[in-house]
Structure 1
């Protein structure tokens, strides 16, 4: 796969907007659907853009109805709804800050009210920024990151459990930085380590109920995180330092979520997939 040139760019927002990115991230599924998720209902947090949009498109193609929880990126969310509907499925949009427990409960309950059930929970929504001087990082910023990247996963899972039966799936987004660490992303890496530990612990907790819990730990992927986090010169040719020499695209990550969400992944729980372009890290 040829690596598209990524020019210098940045956005003064987190989460940033996918519709402003150049080039546009590639979310499109590559293969015809075969019904792997027929009759299923999936709630995807952070589903408006990036990896979340790619998951929504792929799951819709495989037959799932989709609910998307997101912060406030209405234009991106509307585009994702259009993508899901063009795949022949239904899509519910649920805006709100998932760092607030009531909004997590609302996302789950609105999904069940709209579609009658919940089969798959994708905890994917998050925020990221560079810790330019960790010693001076404000308490507010630290608490905001923990709320978005840790508490939201816990609150949404709590709310979902009463609706998830045997065979249900929970899939959490972690990161290569949970394993390798990154000096400029201390707070973010810490939260992604927490999502990894949460995954493994909940997998053990829910095994007897027949619910699997797994994680996906992407490497450098071309999503709104990147222009929303980095300086323009850092964004240029993002991902070129990986063994594959390029950033990953969202569609290349979504397939890992589909594996865990479908019957293909029925014998996996507490595990992590690493779509990271060849970066070797501890499992």
Structure 2
């Protein structure tokens, strides 16, 4: 584990997967086929939820993984164990992606451990539900944007000098970007920014042979939901409004991240995939 001397912000997010019941399903559903053999992936928020599922699937497909996480040492150690159980190498880096300095440290540690960076998954994020816009403090607004969109800029800037033609960047946006969310005003706004960032960054990097895409999950069972201020009643009915009538699991989202990272998606850039339980959006 590596940490800079810069302060990591202390709050309940993203929460510990080790304490969550029922446990999210992260396990890959099929044998690997070497689609990421020899690649190195940096995955933010990889200690739990979607990030853990992506790390597990990437490892099964042959990638070594840098697990970037905020505070949850136990969850990060478990993701590292999962990656190593797939026969791949992993390092954990404790870092707040809202800090440019910490993102640079992530890149440095990855290069020291693996010598290269091929894939960046910008997955880390936070949310703070508020029923009234007047309840959103300036501090919360700045913090949500700092993590969710500034962090993607900082991580991309940190790894960009080390990406070669054939590299891939995959950003995590959200169905809330397309549908809106009356209780997640600041969060859904950052997700709109992430989608615009994805499309613009694709235009910026495509001439260098670097593809940039995004995934927009619907309601997925991860620590972010119970630890992000959702009420017990909302959690009880979480995901029931989707056409499939249930929340998704992280291992139902991870294959979208795999597809966009590997050569199967060699003719795709600036696009968004929608594992969201059947919700129709303008993508």
Find the aligned partners of 2:85 and 2:133 in 1 and give their Cα distance.
Answer: 45
Q: Give the match for residue 166 of structure 1.
A: 165
Q: Tell me by how many angstroms 1:126 deviates.
A: 0.5
- The CA deviation string for residues 106-158 of structure 1, in whole angstroms up to 9 with x for no partner, is 11111111100000000000101102321131111111001100100001001
**How many angstroms apart in 2 are the aligned matches of 1:112 and 1:256?**
26
| Equivalenced residues, count | 272
Deviation digits for residues 63-93 of structure 1 (CA, Å, limit 9, x no counterpart): 0000011111111111101100111111110
In 2, the alpha carbon distance for the partners of 1:90 and 1:234 equals 39
Deviation at 1:281, TM superposition (A): 0.7
Task: Report Cα offsets for 1:25-81 as digits up to 9, x if no partner.
Answer: 000001100100000000000000000000000000000000011111111111101
- The corresponding residue for 2:248 is 248
Aligned residues of 1:199 and 1:215 also touching (Cα < 8 A):
yes
SS in 1 for 2:83: helix
Report the counterpart of residue 199 of structure 1 in structure 2.
198
- Whether the 8 Å contact between 1:131 and 1:187 is mirrored in structure 2 is no
Distance 1:89 1:191 in 2: 33
Q: d(CA) in 1 for partners of 2:125 and 2:137?
A: 18
Question: What is the DSSP-based 3-state SS (H/G/I as helix, E as strand, rest coil) of the residue aligned with 2:203?
Answer: helix
How far the C-alpha of 1:231 sits from its partner, in A, is 1.1
Is 1:156 the counterpart of 2:155? The answer is: yes
The correspondence of residues 184-263 of structure 1 with structure 2, limited to 5 A, is 184-229=183-228, 230-263=230-263
Secondary structure of 1:214's aligned partner: strand
- Which 4+ stretches in 1 moved above 3 angstroms? none
Whether the 8 Å contact between 2:218 and 2:248 is mirrored in structure 1 is: yes
- Answer yes or no: is the 8 Å Cα contact 2:180–2:188 preserved in 1: yes
Q: Distance in 2 between matches of 1:173 and 1:102?
A: 22
Give distance in 2, aligned partners of 1:74 and 1:85: 16
More divergent stretch after superposition (214-223 vs 136-145): 136-145
Q: Does 1:146 align with 2:145?
A: yes
1:18-37 aligned within 5 A: 18-37=17-36
Q: Give the Cα–Cα distance (whole angstroms) in 2 for the partners of residues 173 and 131 of structure 1.
A: 22
**Counterpart-to-counterpart distance in 1, 2:135 and 2:22:** 34
Q: Is the 8 A contact 2:18 2:75 kept in 1?
A: yes
- Report the RMSD for the aligned CA atoms in angstroms: 0.9
> TM-score, with normalisation over the residues of structure 1?
0.95
- The TM-score, its normalising length taken from structure 2, stands at 0.95
Partner of 1:270: 270
Counterparts of 2:128 and 2:26, CA distance in 1 = 23
Question: Distance in 2 between the 1:210 and 1:97 partners?
Answer: 29
The structure whose RCO (Cα within 8 Å, separation 6+) is larger is 1
SS at structure 2 position matched to 1:153: helix
Q: What are the superposed Cα offsets for residues 153-205 of structure 1, whole Å, 9 maximum, x if unpaired?
A: 00100111100000000000000001110110010000011110000000000
- The CA distance in 2 between the partners of 1:111 and 1:268, in whole Å, is 26
